[in-house]
Amino acid sequence: MATTTTRKVLIPADAPNRETLEEILRGDGWEPRAYRDVRDAEREVRAAPCQAVLLRHGKGGLESLEIVKRIRGVRPETFVLGMGSAHHGETDAVVDAEPSPGELLAVLRVSSAVQRAREAERLLREQLREIEKATESQADRIRELEQACSDLQETVQNAEALAFRDELTQLYNRRFFVQAISQQIERSRRDGSGFALAMMDIDHFKAYNDAYGHVAGDEMLKELARTLLKTFRRMDIVARYGGEEFIALMPEAPPGTATRFDPAAWMERVRAAVERIVESGRTTPGGKRITISAGVVVSPQDGSDLDTLIAEVDARLYRAKLAGRNRVCASPEAAAET
């Protein structure tokens, strides 16, 4: 018999920002319950099916490991998320020791897909056992179910990675980027550090797609993604923001003449690297290769909150387009000439 799952989630009573986290979870349709110790957690999972359990590592360790064992013994389908360094991989996923409520919510949403996939896999395996007991003449059906189980296992393994990656380019996706820049803004408010934000858009991409087809367009997007990863610094976070639009977070880029890192100059380097891309010798209609236009802002001088920075970097990208494309605009007035 299949058990009825709920969206109940157990949270340690000493979890950071617990009240805020519980409020956010309730708004997303979860039923958060606080637990104090191993026995308390076991009692909750025995009382009713529980979709997810949050653990805190690094505070004794053995207690966290004991909680995992108890939960697995009662509800093996429950998603276990560790906050801090996990012990020998006993949890399904691990986040920072003190993650933000938004980060936890994103991972728990992934856990819903993981749990559904696990439940479907479990049901398929039950059917497989019944068929094997009933008759050996159902060999073809058994092979089909085994393939379905294999596909579902792959779905479970890839669910968390896909939650934060763009499927085509394998860059970070927009959701992850918004979380990353929100955390950078909070960090900058605490320690006064600066950072830069660059938004890029492929010039004449629609014309390229119309001329060569969407398959060629997808290949160009993947080649561009590889070029961006090779040209930006390792500490920078590059994401596909939507369609042919990309965005990059460049930390440790404070304003002022004393800084050794110039975000605008670095974006010129990125723009030039993209201009050198040769994709099967193809060009855009009119004989030009694929190029990008970009806008650059620096925080805090161009803004200190997410909405202001996104609006301003988008406006500068637009000015770069108006100025003739294939250029970088890093000021409120005009785009830099290339």
Residue 323, helix vs strand vs coil: coil
Q: Which residues of 38-55 are buried (b: 16+ CB within 10 A; e: fewer)?
A: beebbebbeeebbbbbbb
Is 244 known to be catalytic? Answer: yes
Structure tokens at 140: 């073809």
d(C-alpha 72, C-alpha 78), whole Å: 7
**Tokens 């991989």 sit on residue:** 89
Question: What separation, in Å, do the N-terminal and C-terminal C-alpha atoms of the chain show?
Answer: 68
d(C-alpha 98, C-alpha 317), whole Å: 36
Rounded to 10°, the helix 38-47/62-74 angle is 20
d(C-alpha 75, C-alpha 85), whole Å: 23
Residue 99, helix vs strand vs coil: coil
In this structure, what DSSP letter does residue 138 have? G
Structure tokens at 118: 């696990």
Whether cis (ω within 30° of 0) applies to the bond prior to 12 is no
Q: How far is CA 122 from CA 56, 73, 115, 210, 308, in A?
A: 28, 16, 10, 46, 48
* CB within 8 Å of 63: residues ≥ 6 apart: 37, 38
Q: Exposure of 74 by Cβ count < 10 A (0-12 exposed, 13-18 middle, 19+ buried)?
A: middle
Q: Of residues 244, 275, 279, 312, which has the active-site annotation?
A: 244
Taken in order 150, 153, 155, 158, is the CA torsion positive or negative? negative
Active-site positions?
244
